[in-house]
Amino acid sequence: MLEIKNLHARIAEDGTEIIRGLNLTVKAGEVAAIMGPNGSGKSTLSYVLAGRDDYEVTEGDILYNGESILEMDPAERAASGIFLAFQYPMEIPGVATMEFLKVAMNAQRKARGEEPLKIPELLKRVKEAAGSLNMDIAMLKRPLNVGFSGGEKKRAEILQMKLLEPQLCVLDETDSGLDIDALKIVADGVNALRSPDRAIVVITHYQRLLEYIVPDSVHVLYRGQVIKSGDKSLALELEANGYAGVIDEAA
Amino acid sequence: MPAVQETIEQVRKIDVDQYKYGFETIIEMDKAPKGLSEETIRFISAKKNEPEWMLEWRLGAFRRWLTLEEPTWARVDYPKIDFQDIHYYAAPKNQSGPRSLDEVDPELLKVYEKLGIPLKEQEILAGVQKQPDGELDEANDNVYKSGRVAVDAVFDSVSVVTTFKKELAAAGVIFCSISEAIREHPDLVKKYLGSVVPTTDNFYATLNSAVFTDGSFVYVPKGVRCPMELSTYFRINEKNTGQFERTLIIAEEGAYVSYLEGCTAPQRDENQLHAAVVELIALDDAEIKYSTVQNWYPGDAQGKGGIYNFVTKRGDCRGDRSKISWTQVETGSAITWKYPSCILRGDDSRGEFYSIAVSNGYQQVDSGTKMIHLGKNTSSRIISKGIAAGFSQNTYRGQVSAHRKATNARNFTNCDSLLIGDQCGAHTVPYIEAKNSSAQFEHEATTSKISDDQKFYVMQRGIPEEEAIALIVNGFVKEVIQELPMEFAVEAQKLIGISLEGSVG
């Protein structure tokens, strides 16, 4: 589903190269964890996948369902089924969460040539999804992410992910700032989305999240490259020994 | 003395008549010659069959105007206007208009399409002249009947208008053109016209007083709650009121009226200079709500052309516990110079100003409000949202003052500016003056930029760039949109989106 080939990307403004020849393949149905120390390029990778224009791809390619997405803008990528759950979701003052969900869902439907959702159907879907995440419906009337606690923001991200039904989900440090209860709810939400035709990329610093979202593969990112790949035991190894061993091994 | 007075009157009458005849050929042309003089004013007044006192009022304003200088304090920059190079009167038909929609600027049509305006209405807004079908309606200034039928179509068929007129009449509400009011309700007009914005007020208001051609008149009698929102949409003879519009709204004791001015669709307009005057009078316990959507031609992408909009709008909370509320959505015009204000004269009276001013391209907006607290326990609230994009300049200019007798005057002001891109400017110029130590004035102002983070986040949910900007901006202006009547609010949101198109990239 996702094939990243020898990807090089730099910060557009100052030309600093962050991703330096990254290779990664994630199949449909797979949950891949990307781990790595701070500054290894984890968040940059998520931004480059989503098409943020502060980064320039200078070499290599990103294939999604076999086709390059480099020429697509973030909205086009999203409409084609790529979803990024943000580490720091943005506040959108004055735009009720419910309204935002409606606009986003219908924008994607429009891009696929589908009719906008009827309000009762929309409400039904939103209520169902919010209920499964233990979210208070009253919260949906509040402006998106404005005054939300860290846990509420992350839950709102997962809610959007559920409703937009992406094919490729990228979760950027979704565990950061979550207490254990919130973490379980979020992880349950993600697990519910596991399916044979969907790929999930979980970017995390700690192994903790992977106890709840058990990955099929684990990849260690360091200095903009995947330096080691393995199964879920690799995460445990990293937890026990830190990144130093893996880094030394690669060097 | 009476004899002398009589003589003067006599001479005046003769004068007026002579001018009438003197302009005979011009009447056929249906246009006053260019330039401004007492003759022009007599021509306009005669053309409208106005009584003597009205002509005098106009002439007084004109003489005053000759002594005034064009103000230069606003943060707007435009070539000097030659006031002698303007037609001050043109009859409602304009033969120079396009013949069909094929001749109309396709950009304009695109906007209509986006707003979902039906074809028939598009024609009218774009000023399409129907081919004469030989049938002239002599009773109505020789306007072609086919044109009027189309107008009816806009207003949802004749029956709607008729029903609505009946309903208003039953309630005792007078809603007509100011010209008609001058003829039919001279006592009301004499009593209130110029009582809020005097003929001596300012350069543009004084000019308007001399040459205004038409506008609306509303009178809501004591204790009556106007049974519907009054809108220029509904007034058939509103077409082509021209560049010097004059509106007068009076709410008697305990009356309530909500008035909607304007249209979300951009209108084709031959006149570059607009100088309107709006006066509102609220007596004891009365409430007037005045909403505007202004979407005139802002000029082309290089900033050429576009309407100059110099408006004086003022409400007088003359009675105790009266309330006047202004809500405006300004997206059009090359230059906007506009400060809808409230004079809080009655004790416990309240003034409100809710504004959204969007500027894009090379537009210049200098707009805001004045809240003049004169009575005791008066309160006012100002919520202003300025959005600047492109190369535009957007200034909020506001004055809040408390007279020394205005015990416990209170004001809350919130001015937020949002910048899109880095070539535009937003400015806030508040003047705050309290001569009474019990006054409490609060002022908050913020300037922010739509961050790339925010835009990226919204786009990542599948919302295309321009829609993403519109969504963020509509969130920013939410507080003001909520103040608009329902059906206006939806259109205003769409309009803001359309106005900001091309502001990114």
pLDDT at residue B121 in the model: 55
Task: Name the residue type at position B236.
Answer: I
Chain A residues with CB under 8 Å of B458 CB are: 90, 92
More confident residue, B41 or B149: B41
Confidence of residue B140 (pLDDT cuts 50, 70, 90): very low
- From B469, which residue of chain A is nearest by alpha-carbon distance? A92
B461–A contact, CB cutoff 8 A: yes
A95–B contact, CB cutoff 8 A: yes
Considering only CB atoms, A108 lies closest to which of B462, B472, B479, namely B462
- From B462, which residue of chain A is nearest by alpha-carbon distance? A75
Cα distance between residue A44 and residue A41, in whole Å? 5
Distance of CA B421 to the CA centre of its chain: 29
Confidence of residue B120 (pLDDT cuts 50, 70, 90): low
Instruction: Verify whether the Cβ–Cβ distance A94 to B453 is below 8 Å.
Output: no
Least confident of A72-86, A147-161, B75-89, B156-170: B156-170
pTM above 0.80, yes or no: no
Could you tell me the domains of chain A?
Answer: 2-250 (3.40.50.300)
Cα distance between residue B59 and residue B17, in whole Å? 16
For the cut 60, the answer to whether the pLDDT of residue B159 exceeds it is no
pLDDT tens column, B429-459: 999 999 989 999 999 888 888 878 899 999 9
Confidence of residue B464 (pLDDT cuts 50, 70, 90): very high
The C-alpha of B373 sits at a distance from chain A's nearest C-alpha, in angstroms, of 31
pLDDT at residue A18 in the model: 95
In angstroms, what is the C-alpha Rg of chain A?
18
Query: Could you tell me which of B186, B189, B247 has the C-alpha nearest to residue B215?
Result: B247
The C-alpha of B474 sits at a distance from chain A's nearest C-alpha, in angstroms, of 7
B414–A contact, CB cutoff 8 A: no
For the cut 70, the answer to whether the pLDDT of residue B504 exceeds it is no
Average of per-residue pLDDT values in chain B:
78
B475–A contact, CB cutoff 8 A: yes
Confidence of residue B263 (pLDDT cuts 50, 70, 90): low
A164–B contact, CB cutoff 8 A: yes
A73–B contact, CB cutoff 8 A: yes
Instruction: Verify whether the Cβ–Cβ distance A90 to B477 is below 8 Å.
Output: no
Three-class DSSP category at B112: helix
A148–B contact, CB cutoff 8 A: no
The C-alpha of B116 sits at a distance from chain A's nearest C-alpha, in angstroms, of 17
B462–A contact, CB cutoff 8 A: yes
Confidence of residue B110 (pLDDT cuts 50, 70, 90): low
pLDDT at residue A16 in the model: 94
Query: Could you tell me which of B232, B281, B273 has the C-alpha nearest to residue B253?
Result: B281
Chain A residues with CB under 8 Å of B451 CB are: 90
A98–B contact, CB cutoff 8 A: no
Considering only CB atoms, B464 lies closest to which of A83, A86, A107, namely A107
pLDDT at residue B1 in the model: 37
Instruction: Verify whether the Cβ–Cβ distance A92 to B457 is below 8 Å.
Output: yes
Task: Name the residue type at position A23.
Answer: N
Question: CB pairs below 8 Å between A and B: how many?
Answer: 77
User: Among residues of chain B, what percentage have pLDDT more than 70?
Assistant: 74
Considering only CB atoms, A54 lies closest to which of B452, B460, B476, namely B452
Task: Name the residue type at position A27.
Answer: K
Cα distance between residue B58 and residue B246, in whole Å? 12
pLDDT at residue B399 in the model: 94
pLDDT at residue B133 in the model: 39
Confidence of residue B154 (pLDDT cuts 50, 70, 90): very low
Considering only CB atoms, B463 lies closest to which of A50, A90, A103, namely A103
Distance of CA B145 to the CA centre of its chain: 28
Other CB atoms within 10 Å distance of the CB of residue B455: 22
Chain B residues with CB under 8 Å of A94 CB are: 474-479
B446–A contact, CB cutoff 8 A: no
Chain B residues with CB under 8 Å of A78 CB are: 459-463
Token pair 């290894």 is found at A40
A52–B contact, CB cutoff 8 A: yes
The C-alpha of A69 sits at a distance from chain B's nearest C-alpha, in angstroms, of 14
Alpha helices in B116-156 (DSSP H): 119-125, 145-154
Say which DSSP state A129 is in: H
Considering only CB atoms, A103 lies closest to which of B452, B453, B471, namely B471
pLDDT tens column, B316-350: 999 999 999 999 988 888 889 999 999 999 999 99
Backbone angles phi, psi at A166, to 5 degrees: -75, 165
Interface test with A, best of B422, B454, B456 (most A CBs within 10 A): B456
B211–A contact, CB cutoff 8 A: no
Instruction: Verify whether the Cβ–Cβ distance B465 to A50 is below 8 Å.
Output: no
Cα distance between residue B34 and residue B107, in whole Å? 31
Confidence of residue B272 (pLDDT cuts 50, 70, 90): confident
Instruction: Verify whether the Cβ–Cβ distance A92 to B474 is below 8 Å.
Output: no
pLDDT at residue B10 in the model: 46
Cα distance between residue A150 and residue A174, in whole Å? 10
Cβ–Cβ < 8 Å for B247, B109: no
User: Among residues of chain B, what percentage have pLDDT more than 90?
Assistant: 37
Instruction: Verify whether the Cβ–Cβ distance B467 to A103 is below 8 Å.
Output: yes
Cα–Cα distances (Å) from A168 to A196, A197, A219, A230, B370, in that order, read 12, 9, 17, 20, 55
Cα–Cα distances (Å) from A82 to A17, A69, A122, B377, in that order, read 24, 10, 21, 58
Cα distance between residue B481 and residue B175, in whole Å? 26
Number of residues in chain B: 505
**Extended strands (E) in B67-144:** 136-137, 143-144
Half-sphere exposure of A27 (CA within 13 A, CB side): 5
pLDDT at residue A117 in the model: 93
Confidence of residue B94 (pLDDT cuts 50, 70, 90): very low
Segments making up each domain of chain B, as ranges: 2-85, 173-448
Task: Name the residue type at position A207.
Answer: Q
Interface test with A, best of B416, B451, B459 (most A CBs within 10 A): B459
pLDDT at residue B92 in the model: 46
- pLDDT per residue as tens, chain A (251 positions): 999 999 999 999 899 999 999 999 999 999 999 999 888 999 999 999 999 999 999 999 999 999 999 999 999 999 999 999 999 999 999 999 999 999 999 999 999 999 999 999 999 999 999 998 888 889 999 999 999 988 899 999 999 999 999 999 999 998 887 888 888 888 998 999 999 999 999 999 888 889 999 999 999 999 999 999 999 999 988 888 888 888 888 77
pLDDT at residue A91 in the model: 93
Confidence of residue B7 (pLDDT cuts 50, 70, 90): very low
- From B476, which residue of chain A is nearest by alpha-carbon distance? A94
pLDDT at residue B503 in the model: 67
B478–A contact, CB cutoff 8 A: yes
Instruction: Verify whether the Cβ–Cβ distance A160 to B461 is below 8 Å.
Output: yes
A116–B contact, CB cutoff 8 A: no
- From A54, which residue of chain B is nearest by alpha-carbon distance? B452
Confidence of residue B104 (pLDDT cuts 50, 70, 90): low
pLDDT tens column, B368-423: 999 999 999 999 999 999 999 889 999 999 999 999 999 999 999 999 998 888 88
Cβ–Cβ < 8 Å for A224, A21: yes
B458–A contact, CB cutoff 8 A: yes
**Extended strands (E) in B406-489:** 410-419, 425-434, 440-449
Cα distance between residue B424 and residue B393, in whole Å? 6
pLDDT at residue B250 in the model: 97
Considering only CB atoms, B467 lies closest to which of A78, A90, A107, namely A107
For the cut 50, the answer to whether the pLDDT of residue B483 exceeds it is yes
Least confident of A229-233, B202-206, B220-224, B478-482: B478-482
